[in-house]
Amino acid sequence: MNHTDDDMEEDNLDQAIDNTEISFKERLTYDKLSFYYISLPIMLVGNLLGAFLLCAIQLESVDLYSISIWLLVSFIMFLYRFYHYYLFRGESEINKLRDADIWLDRYYSNTLISGIVWGSSAFLMFPESGLLNQMIVLFFLFAIGFSAMGILAAKRDLLLTYALVTYAPIILRFFFMEDELYTRIAYIILALMLIMILTANYYGKVINNALNNRQHFMTIKHTHEKLKERFFSLFERAPVGIYYYNPWLELQDVNMHFMKMNKVKDKEELLNTNLHNLSNHQIIEAHKEVFRGKTGNYRGPFEVLNSKENFYVNLSTVPMIDAEGNVAGGITIINDITNEVTAKEEMIRNAYYDMLTNIPNRTLFLDKLKSFIEHKKQNGEYAALLFLDMDHFKKVNETYGHDVGDQLLKQVVKRIENTIGGHELFARITGNKFVILISSLDRNKTLSKEMTSKYISTIQDKFIEPFNLVGNEYHVSFTIGIVLFNNRDISAYDLLKRSETAMYEAKKNERGTSLFYQSIMSQEIEETLMLENDIHKAMKNDEFIIYYQPQLDVKQNKIIGAEALIRWDHPEKGFIPPTTFIPVAEESGIIIKLEEWIIDKVLREIKSLSRRLSGFPLDHIAINICTVHFLQPHFVEKLMLQLHEHGVKPEWIELEITESGIMRNIDDAAKKIKELKSFGFTFSIDDFGTGYSSLSYLKELPVDMIKIDQSFIMHMNESKGDATIVEAVIGIGQKFNIKVLAEGVEDEPTLEALKKMSCDIYQGYYGYKGMPIEDFEKLL
């Protein structure tokens, strides 16, 4: 086999080893197998030629029949073994590795058979007389034996077996011949056989050692190649930049990621680039640390090589040691952390700046206000904190959507920034609420107030010009709370809280105004907060009671329904009217939870009522729903879940919504009303005539009843104007086939007047006051 074949076989073996996990012993077995089969063609050809030559020499001294039989057997054996050799060569390396033991057993068997064939020559090819021809047979046996034993020397048991089957017949033949000369020859053959075995055994050890050494070498080479391949793969495909450099800081090799970081496709563009060309001396010093036997580290901006573009990196460089132990250069691992740094900066910015308007948020403002207070000079000079609340901003979101609302906020911020001076601190606290810190006014409090008022007027004047919202003009105004301070005895949080308190007090009086903080305001706010907390406790402790005020048919004076009204008997403060706690609930946002509690309570009570009375005896029970709650995205789904939970039919429930609330988002309201009516609910419009009364929306909204506000009913007998309005509303109801309910009927004359006007239903203290479910049940 030539050198090329060896290389190919070695490559095939390496590939097989890569794909198959094999032990050292298995690989050694494979090497022996290869050694045997590589030498097999020479051995076979030698045996065949030897057989032909022996037969030719013995033609005259041995009968032709014996020669023919022996030669035929030898030739068949040659073909048989050559066939096995052919099969072996055709096998893949993986199969050879897997079936090595089978191939070895096959080789051993064939070798022993060959030995037996040659051993049989002592009987078939050995002449009865003629010492020369007899010695020729012996010569051929030793010639073939020497060549075979040299090859079989790597396997001791095979060597001994082969010697036995090859030489035992000739030795026995000589021993059984009567001449003493043959006996001596037999001993000589036996001695030569032993010498040959010992020699071959030694040679076998040499071969085995050579195979072991070769296998160790192959193992080391294979491991080295694998490590080299893995290192190269790691170097080239590492998710970080890696490069080598020499003592002159010239790049010697770079990986693919570093090329990508530097936006080059050809490695040659970066090779021999000198790092001294970088403008950042910290990076250069980090690389020089390597030649002092240290590790260099750097974190910060890194210039794209051959460019002025920067990105942030985390860089670490270590010495590269040569065979003599000297520092021959360095290896640098560089990780692009631009996204990480940007994300951290973004996170910090989001923590301290408003994401929508890009101005300081509440957190940063309080930090700066705290710092301002701590460093404020004790010279008596006043500063002012303004708390600005955009009026009616909720209507913008409800009418136009939050996207338009966000755009309006941006425009408002831009206009304020163009108005205020550079020394003022401007921040967005939340939603539509902003603050401005005027850091320097005057030592005189009155003059400081005048300066602040003038400052506020300047801001308000800038908002006289309307904004353009989706093609419509929209005017913005602010309700502003102000707190003046001139010392360090107050915290930033308290200042903010006081300015907000003043804003809410101003809003109570009139929106679009401003008010300076007074200490009495805090007491009112605290009372409001206490009331808010008490509402939470009341829901938890079941302190609220549902009263049912009957609704009667005007003509028959018969109870046909009732309105569910909430009442609160506080365990410490006694009876608290709804006019006191409902506005607090609406302002704080608790109203949704409170109304969900009311709905749950009403459904539970009317379900029990229907069980006791074996059916529901009324047309409906009316439940008031505030606008904020009704316009919630999942109002319908939640309401239907509550009905399903209590087993109450939608036909039993009438939902009361206010006229002004509907007009905030009439499209959404109409959609929800139609959806709920499809389930069986009925609807009434509360306080009709006090807000946006319009015939057009009555066409759009499929309501079942309109309620005339009690402010018109209570004085309709004394006021011709109220009576006219009541009559007109009843006429509208008849025109649109909508029932009309008069609220607040307190006397017989009012009821009689309503009968003449053909009003459908009345409700008020004249008929029945509100009462708990137990008392209401007695009326039925």
Check: CB of residue 273 under 8 Å from CB of residue 305. yes
Residue 771 carries which DSSP code? Answer: B
Whether the pLDDT of residue 357 is over 60: the answer is yes
The confidence score (pLDDT) of residue 534 equals 92
Whether the pLDDT of residue 624 is over 90: the answer is yes
The confidence score (pLDDT) of residue 5 equals 46
Q: In which order are the strands placed within the sheet that holds 433-438?
A: 425-430, 433-438, 383-390, 478-485, 514-516
Q: How far is CA 207 from the centre of its chain?
A: 62
pLDDT, tens digit, 9 for 90 and up, residues 516-538: 998 887 777 777 778 888 999 99
- How many beta carbons lie within 10 A of that of residue 589, not counting itself? 10
C-alpha–C-alpha distance, residues 164 and 172, integer Å:
11
- Length of the chain counted residue by residue: 780
pLDDT, tens digit, 9 for 90 and up, residues 652-673: 999 999 876 677 677 888 889 9
State mean pLDDT over 322-330: 87
For residue 516, the cross-strand partners are 482
Residue 426 carries which DSSP code? Answer: E
Estimate the crossing angle of helix 3-19 against helix 24-57, to 10 degrees.
140
pLDDT band at residue 386 under the 50/70/90 scheme: very high
pLDDT band at residue 209 under the 50/70/90 scheme: confident
Ranges 333-347, 535-549, 687-701: which has the least confidence: 687-701
C-alpha–C-alpha distance, residues 357 and 345, integer Å:
17
- How many beta carbons lie within 10 A of that of residue 14, not counting itself? 16
Check: CB of residue 243 under 8 Å from CB of residue 332. yes
The confidence score (pLDDT) of residue 284 equals 92
pLDDT band at residue 154 under the 50/70/90 scheme: low
The confidence score (pLDDT) of residue 738 equals 92
Q: How far is CA 113 from the centre of its chain?
A: 71
Residue 201 carries which DSSP code? Answer: H
pLDDT, tens digit, 9 for 90 and up, residues 677-687: 999 999 999 87
Mean pLDDT of the chain: 85
State mean pLDDT over 411-438: 90
Whether the pLDDT of residue 392 is over 80: the answer is yes
C-alpha–C-alpha distance, residues 260 and 264, integer Å:
6
The confidence score (pLDDT) of residue 593 equals 94
Handedness of CA 694, 700, 706, 711 (dihedral sign): negative
C-alpha–C-alpha distance, residues 255 and 334, integer Å:
11
C-alpha–C-alpha distance, residues 723 and 538, integer Å:
41
State mean pLDDT over 379-405: 88
State the residue for tokens 């076979």.
44
Whether the pLDDT of residue 375 is over 80: the answer is yes
The confidence score (pLDDT) of residue 321 equals 87
Q: Which of 20-24, 344-348, 494-498, 598-602 has the highest mean pLDDT?
A: 598-602
Residue 277 carries which DSSP code? Answer: G
Phi first, then psi, for residue 479 (nearest 5°) are -100, 125
Say which residues have a Cβ less than 8 Å from residue 112's Cβ, sequence separation at least 6.
Answer: 158, 161, 162, 165
- How many beta carbons lie within 10 A of that of residue 95, not counting itself? 13
What's the number of CA atoms in the CB half-sphere (13 Å) around residue 322?
8
Helix (H, G, I), strand (E, B) or coil at 662: helix
pLDDT band at residue 250 under the 50/70/90 scheme: very high
The confidence score (pLDDT) of residue 151 equals 63
Nearest to 81 by CA among 48, 54, 124: 48
State mean pLDDT over 763-777: 83
Ranges 65-69, 414-418, 766-770: which has the least confidence: 766-770
Whether the pLDDT of residue 305 is over 80: the answer is no
The confidence score (pLDDT) of residue 150 equals 61
- DSSP strand pairing (327-336 vs 761-763): unpaired
The confidence score (pLDDT) of residue 561 equals 95
The confidence score (pLDDT) of residue 360 equals 93
Q: What Rg, from alpha-carbon coordinates, does the chain have?
A: 54
- How many beta carbons lie within 10 A of that of residue 720, not counting itself? 9
Ranges 119-128, 305-314, 385-394, 693-702: which has the least confidence: 693-702
- How many beta carbons lie within 10 A of that of residue 732, not counting itself? 17
- How many beta carbons lie within 10 A of that of residue 580, not counting itself? 12
Handedness of CA 308, 309, 315, 317 (dihedral sign): negative
State mean pLDDT over 104-122: 84
Say which residues have a Cβ less than 8 Å from residue 129's Cβ, sequence separation at least 6.
Answer: none
Check: CB of residue 420 under 8 Å from CB of residue 462. no
C-alpha–C-alpha distance, residues 666 and 510, integer Å:
26
What's the number of CA atoms in the CB half-sphere (13 Å) around residue 753?
21
Phi first, then psi, for residue 659 (nearest 5°) are -65, -45
